[in-house]
Amino acid sequence: MEQADLQRLFDSKIEQEIRIEPKDWMPEAYRKTNLRQISQHAHSEVVGMLPEANWITRAPSLRRKVALLAKVQDEAGHGLYLYSAAETLGTSRDEMMDDLNSGKAKYSSIFNYPTLNWADIGAIGWLVDGAAITNQVALCRTSYGPYARAMVRICKEESFHQRQGYEIMMSMAFGTPQQKQMAQDALNRWWWPALMMFGPNDSESTHSQQSLDWKIKRVSNDDLRQEFVDKSIPQVEYLGLTLPDPDLKWNEERGHYDFGSIDWEEFYRVVSGNGPCNKERLQARNKAHNEGAWVREAAMAFAEKRQTNVA
């Protein structure tokens, strides 16, 4: 087929909501955009293990310890599905990992914030996973098949994590005065970074329009953010906590909550590598990778030896 015919076939699939599959022809920019987005998403799962793993050894009951271990393990599993989905676009997991470790690839900036008290584990499950789900439910309809299917699976687990996170927040907010204080402190620190997870305002977002046209992205950043704010506020009220936003109020006319403007300067500082924990997170990933090199080499050498013996 001629290039123009291939392009027409691709366009008509997008138009008719037929998923694009790995062996289908696709425009190079479509492939690259998907690869960037899926690998960033995979990296986010893997780096996202670190702030939560920070509290596993200090979890305050054995039930919580086991739940948190299982949750962080789920994130590793999500990383695996997503790396597999990204590999269908022609880049190996090793290459993607190298890009992560060298700082070339991005991951969600939210994981560059520290977990400072136990309620942070609740706040991450509730708000960070909650924001992620808002995004990912929309991505279950994304146009690239392997990504959409990975999202369906991941969404199921994430909504379980979110309930678990909210349950931690409830036991903190309804607990002793010190626990309530920890819950409020966690909410104060995680609220704005959670809103930043939806990305720049639509007017500023560089990739948005093309991604919407290709149906990689299904709902705009600002619409998703609004949806998240609207559903979070009753949950905050139920906990008896307050949000660190004096401009927050119900807008009868719009049928939505109005909220204050995001500190985009902070957002871009964190994205460009200057967040509270960027260096620490990358160092931890590099350390695990470098110290694991001899293990991976030995496993390869062993597998080769056995193969030779069998042959």
Q: Which residues bind other proteins (CB under 8 A)?
A: 46, 49-50, 53, 56-66, 69-70, 72-73, 76-77, 79-80, 83, 118, 168, 171, 175-176, 178-179, 284, 287-289, 291-299, 301-302, 305
Of the candidates 57, 75, 76, 74, the residue with the CA atom closest to the CA atom of residue 65 = 57
Q: 3-class secondary structure for 243-278?
A: CCCCCCEEECCCCEEECCCCCHHHHHHHHHHHCCCH
DSSP H or E stretch at residue 2: none
Rank residues 67 and 195 by Cβ distance to other proteins and give the closer one: 67
In angstroms, give the least distance from the CB of 125 to other proteins: 14
Residues 88 and 93: their CA atoms lie apart, in Å, by 10
**Cα dist. 13→21, 151, 215, 245 in Å?**
11, 20, 11, 44
CB of 133 to other proteins, least distance (A): 22
Q: Specify the amino acid at residue 164.
A: Q
Q: Report in angstroms how near the CB of residue 7 gets to other proteins at its nearest.
A: 37
**Contacts for 304 with CB less than 8 Å, ≥ 6 apart:** none
Least CB distance from residue 298 to other proteins, whole Å? 3
Give the residue with the Cβ less far from other proteins, 293 or 311: 293
| Residue in 100, 83, 86 with CA at minimum distance from that of residue 47 | 100
Asked if residue 99 lies in contact with residue 39, where contact means CB atoms within 8 angstroms, the answer is yes
Class of residue 34 by CB neighbours under 10 A (exposed 0-12, middle 13-18, buried 19+): buried
What does DSSP assign to residue 142?
Answer: -
Smallest distance from other proteins to CB 50, Å: 5
- Shortest approach of other proteins to residue 249 CB, angstroms? 34
Of 61 and 203, which CB lies nearer to other proteins in the complex structure? 61
Task: Classify 29 as helix, strand or coil.
Answer: helix
Q: At its nearest, how many Å lie between other proteins and the CB of residue 257? A: 31
**Shortest spacing between CB 78 and other proteins, in angstroms:** 10
Element (H, E) at 93: helix 93-102
- Taking the CA atoms of residue 22, residue 28, residue 32 and residue 34 in that order, the dihedral angle to the nearest 10 degrees is -40
DSSP state of 214: T
- Secondary structure (3-state) at 111: helix
State the DSSP code for 92: -
